[in-house]
Homo-oligomer: A and B are copies of this chain.
Amino acid sequence: MKALVYQGPGKKAWQDVPPPRIQHPTDVIVRIDTTTICGTDLHILKGDVPAVTPGRILGHEGVGVVTEVGSSVTTLAVGDNVIISCIKSCGHCIFCKQGIFAHCLGDEGAVGIGWVFGHLIDGTQAEFVRVPYAETSVYKVPPRVTNQQGVLLSDILPTGFEIGVQYGQTKPGDVVAVIGAGPIGLAVIMTAGLYGAARIISIDLDANRIAQARKFGASDGVNSGDADWKQQVMALTDGWGVDVAVEAVGIPDTFEMATQIVRPGGHVANVGVHGKPVALRLQDLWIHNITISMGLVNTNTTPMLLRLIAEGRLDVDKFVSHRFKLDDMLAAYDTFGRAAETKALKVIIER
């Protein structure tokens, strides 16, 4: 079969590889019908994630049809159309029992990370993929939900909702600021309404992205290039700051911004993937009664998000900016890699 194979920093190929086969009784094999590319895949290609070794098939998002099931699998059958969560869950380790699937200890990789596809085992940017712990790691696509909508639930929607909105303890009436209007920031913006946010402020350096954020549900926009950006944010609150400040970029400056605009008693939810330490101004913040949260998605809200999509309450299709065929995988990477120029959000790659 064909697959997108990492070949060391800066190198990848769409090449022939042996198809996956069942290794454990709890595995299934899925034929990928729809996949996509995540910013994390680009990081891996730069060589930023040393755990990924050459020869690894990339990708952790995918929807497709089950073609083979392991001997203990009873609730999935050949022919089922399923969403593969970016996080596998064994269902019985100490972390899974608490719903922290992000740190599943299941023996694939066994390093306490639920994210294994395209990381510690072969991923979804391929014609077929082996899915470990399938009964606790995939979700059947229900009626009225398309594959395209489904693949947006592999990672980006639950990440925005769980790590941004839920970890940020958003509640009805809150003012939520989202710093960074890239795909993940937009996922936070789209789902903040599920807890009744009164105002959602998109903060970014790019006026076009702020304009786009309004289409995803932002009620207000602030350009962080403006000298008075902070005063603009404060003016959109009662003067004491936002209830929830979501960092959706991953650099020290934006994290610092989040700590500057959060009100006493408020929450900073870090969603960004960081590459260096940040200076936390504890000398000022210790007295502010704030929480700072961070983490990898658990995907335990996937069934709930599926229900909302089926009911027409989340218009996720607007995330899709481009569409490719699997054999055009390299073109899809090229488009997604030049997002500033191509305006790519999520590129859908289909069989």
A293's partner among B91, B172, B272, B291 (CB-CB below 8 A) is B291
Asked if A95 and B195 sit within 8 Å, CB to CB, the answer is no
Interface of A is mostly: loop
Asked if A280 and B283 sit within 8 Å, CB to CB, the answer is no
Given contacts A71-B72, A294-B286, contact A91 B91 (CB under 8 A): yes
Asked if A136 and B92 sit within 8 Å, CB to CB, the answer is yes
Chain copies in the assembly? 4
Chain B positions within 8 Å of A8 at CB level = none
A contact residues, total (Cβ < 8 Å): 76
A65 at interface by CB-CB < 8 Å: no
19 A-B pairs (CB sep. < 8 Å): A25-B71, A91-B91, A94-B240, A94-B303, A98-B265, A100-B265, A103-B265, A112-B264, A194-B195, A195-B196, A198-B313, A274-B283, A275-B283, A276-B283, A282-B294, A289-B294, A289-B295, A290-B294, A290-B295
Closest 10 CB pairs between A and B?
A72-B72, A289-B295, A173-B304, A194-B196, A25-B72, A91-B91, A274-B282, A103-B264, A172-B194, A280-B280
Residues of A at the B interface (CB closer than 8 Å) are 24-26, 70-72, 74-75, 91-95, 97-100, 102-103, 107, 112-113, 135-136, 167, 172-173, 193-196, 198-199, 219, 238, 240, 250, 255, 264-265, 270, 272-283, 285-296, 298, 300-301, 303-305, 307-308, 310-311, 313
